[in-house]
A and B are shown apart, each in its own frame.
Chain A
Amino acid sequence: MNSNYNYAFLDEGSKREIRRSVLKAVAIPGYQVPFGSRELPIGRGWGTGGIQLTLSLIGPADTLKVIDQGSDESVNAVNIKKFVGLCTDVETTNDTRKATLIQTRHRIPEIPLRNGQILVLQVPIPEPLRIVEPCEEATKKMHAEKDYAPMWLQLYESLVKYKKVTIPTEYPCMVEGRYMMNPSPIPKFDNPKLHRAECLYLFGAGREKKIYAIPPHTEVVSLAFDDIPFERESFAGKKCRLCGSENTYLDEIFDPQTGERFFQCSDTSYCQEVRRHVSE
């Protein structure tokens, strides 16, 4: 640990302010709480919201896991782990079960999270209504008045044009029947994992200066018309070429040498665990 830095990089006042915003976010599930997003040694839009949440919550007893697009080994994930390690000395892991604090971008791990774990998601655009209303003041009013008809209209327009809802990521959902929420750019495959989960989900948007949360056991329902149920991405007939899993979110990989296309688990740690079990 580099003792020239304050513990977890941010000063204590900043961490307290962020934790107060987290408490408010937990108290009002799905509501976007404004916070004073701090400067970090990385650019806004590179996960500063998630990192600030991680830094303000992490303690010496924590075990940290960082994933980026499901991978523990990506440049972004490795560098965040190094950075947090540099200013906290906490243990890091690739094992989802062992981690107490997981920072992620674009995915929720395949292994169901348990009580006591916190999943921190990096969020680029926290406002679910942004695609239908560009004005921040107007979206605030829409949330206050629970006026979500324009988003439903967007879904209906998709049905008219393409006969199905075509939103692949950031699929909007209703939290506890009150606030519409953008579950960050996770694929809609992961949306059901938010519903009545055991863990605490925290969402941090550093550039937009917003924090929101889904506390454990919260009702999270993806938007769907009464007669057209919500559907996740289908990987029917496909399986991971490494572990053979058929029920996980798969990445399609193209090999330019052979021209071959194959599928592989997006969650690398889960894939490794399955392979380990098979080999044992």
Chain B
Amino acid sequence: MCLNETPVLSVRQLCLRYGDGCSECQTSLEKNRCTVCGTVWAANDISLDVYPGEVLGIVGESGSGKTTLMRSLYFDFIPSSGTAVLSDYKSGRVNIWEASAAEQRLIRNTIMGMVYQNPLLGLRMNYSSASNIAEKIIAAGSRNASQIDERARELLQAVEMPVSRMSEPPRNFSGGMQQRVQISKALANNPALLLLDEVTTGLDLSVQARVLDLIRKIKARYGISILLVSHDLAVIRMLADRTIVMLDGKIVESGLTDQILEDPQHAYTQQLVHSLI
């Protein structure tokens, strides 16, 4: 990672609110809710950069806006305002949230990959694992069944899934295996950016360790940039190069992960780090 390089992703002043908002909103927030008009600011003035090959961690409590940020980037949610550019999309000159629906679909399927906390959101439970991976490859335009098959096989092997089970639907699998299928699906078209939303939440400790180890291997093997959301500081410590801390829809602190964990500046980060100890 080199901070002098062009970022893979640049987000500026992302806001996503539920409600019409009012002129008092920014001065009358109680947590992330406006006391005057009742508007909830799920994401409030978020700016960040993700550099090539880096893992950027996002930590924060439940409701702090981590998933809102991730799902806005993956076009699941429509932001109220803000810009995001990807270096691989029109050389970073066009705001991805202003792209046409077809172009957004292309970005989702070729430039970005997403692993959801809940596999139900990321996988088609009634389709085979091979088809789940094929979905991305087909959406990117491939119409050669043998090549799709080969790629699905290769990806399942990369995430240490038994290839013999590729014709089985993910509903037959354990939580850890479902996350592995999601990861292989996300990697299907060699994306420049991988979005990982609480990938280890709900998994038992041994499975968590295997998934984290897998993500580390993927980073080393593919040199991919990763945006990693977690409320678990141990996960962040293990994987993230830099970390941002979110609270009530806002970024309250950012810096190198070691710096954040060793010398937290913001009161909330201090509380978070001390609660870990």
Residues of chain A whose beta carbon lies under 8 Å from any beta carbon of chain B: 141, 145-147, 149-150, 152-153, 156-157, 159-161, 225-228
User: When the two chains form their complex, are residues B101 and A145 in contact, meaning their CB atoms are under 8 A apart?
Assistant: yes
In the assembled complex, the Cα of A157 lies from the Cα of B148 at a distance in Å of: 11
User: When the two chains form their complex, are residues B138 and A160 in contact, meaning their CB atoms are under 8 A apart?
Assistant: no
Contacts of A147 in B (CB 8 A): 102, 105
Of the candidates A141, A225, A228, the one having the most CB atoms from chain B within 10 angstroms of its own CB is A225
In the assembled complex, the Cα of A141 lies from the Cα of B102 at a distance in Å of: 10
B27 proximal to A (CB < 8 A): no
Q: Quick one: which of A146, A152, A226 contacts B138, CB cutoff 8 A?
A: A152
Closest to A156 in B: B134
CB distance from A143 to the nearest CB of B (A): 12
CB distance from B227 to the nearest CB of A (A): 25
Contacts of A228 in B (CB 8 A): 145
CB distance from B92 to the nearest CB of A (A): 24
In the assembled complex, the Cα of A152 lies from the Cα of B183 at a distance in Å of: 22
In the assembled complex, the Cα of A152 lies from the Cα of B143 at a distance in Å of: 8
Identify whether the interface residues of B are mostly helix, strand, loop, or mixed: helix
User: When the two chains form their complex, are residues A160 and B167 in contact, meaning their CB atoms are under 8 A apart?
Assistant: yes
CB distance from B161 to the nearest CB of A (A): 15
Contacts of A156 in B (CB 8 A): 130-131, 134, 138, 145, 148
Contacts of A227 in B (CB 8 A): 144-147
B139 proximal to A (CB < 8 A): yes
Residues of chain B whose beta carbon lies under 8 Å from any beta carbon of chain A: 101-102, 105, 127-128, 130-131, 134-135, 138-139, 143-149, 166-167
Closest to B136 in A: A149
CB distance from A180 to the nearest CB of B (A): 14
User: When the two chains form their complex, are residues A141 and B139 in contact, meaning their CB atoms are under 8 A apart?
Assistant: no
CB distance from A131 to the nearest CB of B (A): 12
Contacts of A150 in B (CB 8 A): 135
User: When the two chains form their complex, are residues A149 and B135 in contact, meaning their CB atoms are under 8 A apart?
Assistant: yes
In the assembled complex, the Cα of A156 lies from the Cα of B102 at a distance in Å of: 22
CB distance from A161 to the nearest CB of B (A): 6
What are 30 A-B contacts with C-beta separation under 8 Å? Answer: A141-B101, A145-B101, A146-B102, A149-B135, A150-B135, A152-B138, A152-B143, A153-B134, A153-B138, A156-B134, A156-B138, A156-B145, A156-B148, A157-B128, A157-B131, A160-B130, A160-B131, A160-B134, A160-B149, A160-B166, A160-B167, A161-B128, A161-B167, A225-B143, A225-B144, A226-B143, A226-B144, A226-B145, A227-B144, A228-B145
